[in-house]
Structure formats: structure tokens, C-alpha cells
Amino acid sequence: MKPLLILPLLSISFAYCKKESKPYEPVKVCAEISNKKEAIDQYLQGDWKWLEDKSYDRSGEVIYQTPATLGYEEKVVINAGQIIFTRTKGSGKEITTFNYKVVQEGELTTFPSDQAWVLAIYDTVNTNLRNWWRVYICQRNLILSNAYVGELYPDRTYQRQ
């Protein structure tokens, strides 16, 4: 008879011990983050670890995704005109290498009013333009923004390693 009483007591005690999940706290980037060419030139090269993506759904609500929610990690190494993306999921690893240039967005869109500085990536073999992101950077953080595409595409935040 005693074992039957223990089971309900255990389930009640586990229910009270259950930890409450905390709401996600967005990454706090440094206050001096900038799209200025001087800051990009000073801080861009190095090793970066992906922390979060920030985008908006169609209703305007902010959506955050992280390595934990998407199930993979990403690191970026930027040196001497070359950028290497390494994505790790479980025991698998995907490495992609591109050449890059930092240019004003108007050089890619042909709209003179597009004055933001962007990181443009090119195929290493045929030198075709693959993509570009607006760059916001400080000593500690790098944000690659897809703002030119629209708010449904994420801004990806990295931290220097």
C-alpha cells in the first residue's frame, strides 16, 4: 500500500521543482556600433561567433533565433579579402569560402542614394557576386544586416572570438 502513495507524492514534488523558462534576452551589442568605413576597416578582420538572428514576422513582432533554437553553430573568419563561414551541426561541418570587398551599397544597386557600407561576397572561382550585407561593427560585435531585402530577413549578430 505504501508504494501507491509514493507515486502521487513524487509526481507532485516534481511538478513544483520544475524550472520556469525565462523569456529570451536579446544580445546587448556595444553602444558604439557603427556603419562607418573607419570602424569597419579597424575591426572587421578576425574570428567571429554567431550569437543570434533578429527578424520580424508579418505582424511586426520581433523573432529571435539562436544556435540553440536552430540547432547549429556558425563561425566566421575574415582575413585579407577572404571570408570563411563554418557551420557545425552535431558531428557535421560545412565550410564555405568567399572573397569579399567592403563597398558602398550604391556600387551594387546603382542607386546613388544607397550610401551604407556593405560587405559584398563573391565566388572564389568565377568572382560572381553572391550576396551583401550592411555592416554594423564595433570592437566586440558584428551585425550583418539584410535590411536591403526587407524586414523578414534576419540581422545576424556575431561576437569577436
pLDDT tens profile 99-141: 999 999 999 998 888 999 999 999 999 999 999 999 999 999 9
Asked whether residue 24 is domain-assigned, the answer is: no
What CATH number did the domain enclosing 53 receive? Answer: 2.40.128.370
If one counts the domains in the chain, the total is: 1
Percent of the chain at pLDDT exceeding 70: 84
Q: Residue 45 belongs to what domain range?
A: 33-160
**Quick one: pLDDT at residue 151?**
64
Asked whether residue 115 is domain-assigned, the answer is: yes
Asked whether residue 62 is domain-assigned, the answer is: yes
What digits encode the pLDDT tens for the residues 50-73? 999 999 888 989 999 999 999 999
Asked whether residue 53 is domain-assigned, the answer is: yes
Residues 6+ apart with CB under 8 A from 140: 29, 30, 159, 160
Residue 135 near residue 126, CB atoms below 8 Å: no
Q: Which residues of 111-133 are buried (b: 16+ CB within 10 A; e: fewer)?
A: eeeeebbbbbbbeeeeeeeeebb
- DSSP classification of residue 66: -
Grid coordinates given for 120: 559584398
DSSP H helix total and E strand total for the chain? 4, 9
Is the model's pLDDT at 5 over the cut of 60?
Answer: no
Residue 135 near residue 142, CB atoms below 8 Å: yes
pTM of this prediction? 0.84
Asked whether residue 2 is domain-assigned, the answer is: no
Is the model's pLDDT at 47 over the cut of 60?
Answer: yes
**Quick one: pLDDT at residue 112?**
86
| CA–CA gap between residue 159 and residue 73 (Å, rounded) | 13
Asked whether residue 49 is domain-assigned, the answer is: yes
- Mean pLDDT, all residues of the chain: 88
